[in-house]
Amino acid sequence: MQRTYDELVAQARTLTAERGLAGFTVEELCDRVGISRRTFFNYFPTKEDAVFGEYDTGFPQKEQDEFVARGAGDHAGLSPTLLSDIARLVITRARHNDFTRQRHQLFRDIVRAEPHLMAKLMAVGESQQRDFARLVAAREGLPPDDPLPNAIVGVTLSLTFQTVDEFFSDDNDHSFEELLERNIAIARQFFGQPLRLPDPTARPDPTGSP
């Protein structure tokens, strides 16, 4: 079952990237995988659903449980190893065997061939971002709509996506870990600076002086 499922997703993605969704039929997809049309619909309601599959880029349950457990104990403010533990989660995810240049490029090709899939892909991404924020909220003992987990997950994903793009660029010869560590170091430097905002009641100083 799982093997048929995986094969359907892989072939549906390849065909979509090559020809667009309208460029192949469910029958053609089934022929490639060696199943009947009827069997196909036991797996997916539509061709488009096969392209997405579970789109599982979440974290395994065991890693999630460990991540939450490591936030236990008394602490004022954030749990003390939050930054390191989040970086470890991201690195562990990047070591999974579906994290390949080929898969990365495939999704670019799919969206190029079928721009309307972008909206669905973004909805999936937003739902994963919410799951990640809920995980951080659970660990930190915060309500799920607290702005803190959202802000932390947002900046983490921003650095992660940049790291993924750099890692898969043609001229890269660094490891994912090295690139992520460098990007976190940039954010540490940036957010370590003093912050002086303009007087809230005044318009920003037109001379631009602090």
With a CB cutoff of 8 Å and minimum separation 6, the contacts of 112 are 17
Distance of closest approach, residue 66 Cβ to a second copy, in angstroms:
4
Please pick, from the candidates 23, 60, 115, 144, the single residue that binds a second copy as defined by CB under 8 A: 115
Cβ 102 to a second copy, closest distance in Å?
22
- CA-closest candidate to residue 179, choices 165, 190, 189, 191: 165
Burial of 94 (0-12, 13-18, 19+ CB in 10 A): middle
Q: Which of 22, 105, 118, 131 is in the footprint of a second copy by CB under 8 A?
A: 118
Work out the burial of residue 16: count CB atoms within 10 Å of its CB; fewer than 13 is exposed, 13-18 middle, 19 or more buried: buried
**CA geometry: angle 116, 117, 118, nearest 5 deg:** 85
**Contacting a second copy (CB under 8 A), which of 10, 26, 106, 111?**
111
Residue 114 contacts residue 16 (beta carbons within 8 Å): yes
Interacting residues of 16 by C-beta distance below 8 A, sequence separation 6+ = 23, 24, 51, 110, 113, 114, 117
Distance between CA 144 and CA 86 in Å, rounded?
Answer: 17
Minimum CB distance to a second copy, residue 193 (Å):
4
Closer of 128 and 162 to a second copy (Cβ): 162
Nearer to a second copy, 40 or 176 (CB): 176
Looking at beta carbons only, is 73 or 210 nearer to a second copy?
A: 210
Nearer to a second copy, 40 or 139 (CB): 139
Interface residue with a second copy among 8, 29, 50, 82 (CB under 8 A) is 82
- Binding flag, residue 10, a second copy (CB under 8 A): no
Residues that bind a second copy (CB under 8 A): 63, 66-67, 69-70, 77-78, 80-85, 87-88, 91-92, 95, 111, 115-116, 118-120, 122, 147-148, 150-152, 154-155, 157-159, 161-162, 166, 175, 177-198, 200, 203-204, 208, 210
